[in-house]
Amino acid sequence: MTEAPDAPAIRIRGLRKHYGDKHAVDGLDLTVEQGAFFGLLGPNGAGKTTTIGTLTGLVRPTAGTVEVFGRDCWRDPAAARRLIGVCPQEPNFDDFLGLERILAYHAGYFGVPYAKALDRARDLLRFFDLHDYRQKRSSTLSGGMKRRLLLARALMHEPRLLVLDEPTAGVDVELRRGLWEHVRRLNEEEGITVLLTTHYLEEAEALCDSVTVIDQGKVVESGSPDDLRAKYGVRRVVVTPEHVPDGVEPAEFGFRVDDRGRCVLESTDPTASMRGLLRCLDDAGVEVLDLEVTQSRLEDVFVELTRRGTLRAPDGVGP
């Protein structure tokens, strides 16, 4: 059986998952087109892993529909599951098996014959630089090696959708970049659709062509990283000497003194006129000695969404 050729890679409608009074997912609609590199972002407890669980058969929805490539994940679970490779947030290997068996048995669940699966396992272990450990138990691996093994396992049955739940949490910078490269190549060269959740906004910025921010199980914002930056971006103009005289209040810009004692004028309105600002300062006789316009990052978008009260303030954790 083949899946619907034009169906989105992921189509979620009206998804709810309630645990008693807790609404982990609370009416979520999400569409991810085929071939996309999609980021699902949000603070701790936003509902990202729960949403992923409904795709992979681990979390039964309270209401709503979840489809991959036109296959309903709950009415046609075997067909849907075959299309998805998952890197779960927590490594969940069988500690008693050697690496190549972990991979080969996994492919076996999807009907890949053992000899063929073993060949592919060895190829992937080589690719992820784990071949020397192929007979070792997973419990002997470092955290970063386990992350690579998770990715290898997710790819064993040649999925069309790769779901990565914080694949680089706790991974050092070099390995993180290596994993990005692998995943980017899979997306660009093999056309594998990627759903990524991450707390590293720079990662989402570097990799994703569209992102959705969720909180308390609901969509807060969606768009390309560029769209969100344009919408919530902060322009900064640094002015020296330190103070703008009292009474000078350029429209659409607020100002503060930064930790180096400079006066920083900034606006969260992407349409705010820089020319208007400069004219206003000029009229007030304020000399603009240094001018700096910074391109904001997705991180600024989170800060801005939190400032506006759209996102809950993190309680010491999360973005």
Ligand X SMILES: Nc1ncnc2c1ncn2[C@@H]1O[C@H](COP(=O)(O)OP(=O)(O)OP(=O)(O)O)[C@@H](O)[C@H]1O
Positions touching ligand X (CB under 6 A) are 19, 22, 24, 42, 44-50, 89
Number of residues binding to Mg ion, judged by CB under 5 A: 3
Partner interacting with residue 46 (select from ligand X, Mg ion, none; CB below 5-8 Å by kind): ligand X
Nearer to ligand X, 254 or 314 (CB): 314
- Among 204, 207, 276, which Cα is nearest to 235's? 276
- Closest residue to Mg ion in the complex (CB): 49
Compute the least distance from the CB of residue 56 to ligand X, in Å: 13
Partner interacting with residue 44 (select from Mg ion, ligand X, none; CB below 5-8 Å by kind): ligand X
Compute the least distance from the CB of residue 131 to ligand X, in Å: 31
Compute the least distance from the CB of residue 47 to Mg ion, in Å: 9
Nearer to Mg ion, 48 or 101 (CB): 48
Compute the least distance from the CB of residue 188 to ligand X, in Å: 27
Compute the least distance from the CB of residue 109 to ligand X, in Å: 23
Residues in region 82-111 near Mg ion by CB under 5 A: 89
Cis peptide before 241 (omega within 30 of 0): yes
In the chain, where do the E strands start and end? 10-19, 22-32, 37-41, 63-68, 71-72, 84-87, 161-165, 193-197, 210-215, 218-223, 235-239, 254-257, 263-267
Nearer to Mg ion, 34 or 89 (CB): 89
Nearer to ligand X, 3 or 205 (CB): 205
Give the integer Cα–Cα distance in Å for 63 and 32: 20
Residues 6 or more apart in contact with residue 296 via CB below 8 angstroms: 229, 232, 233, 234, 235
Compute the least distance from the CB of residue 197 to ligand X, in Å: 7
What is the Cα 229 distance to its own chain's centre? 16
Binding of Mg ion by 49 (CB under 5 A): yes
Binding of Mg ion by 268 (CB under 5 A): no
Give the integer Cα–Cα distance in Å for 74 and 65: 8
Nearer to Mg ion, 167 or 233 (CB): 167
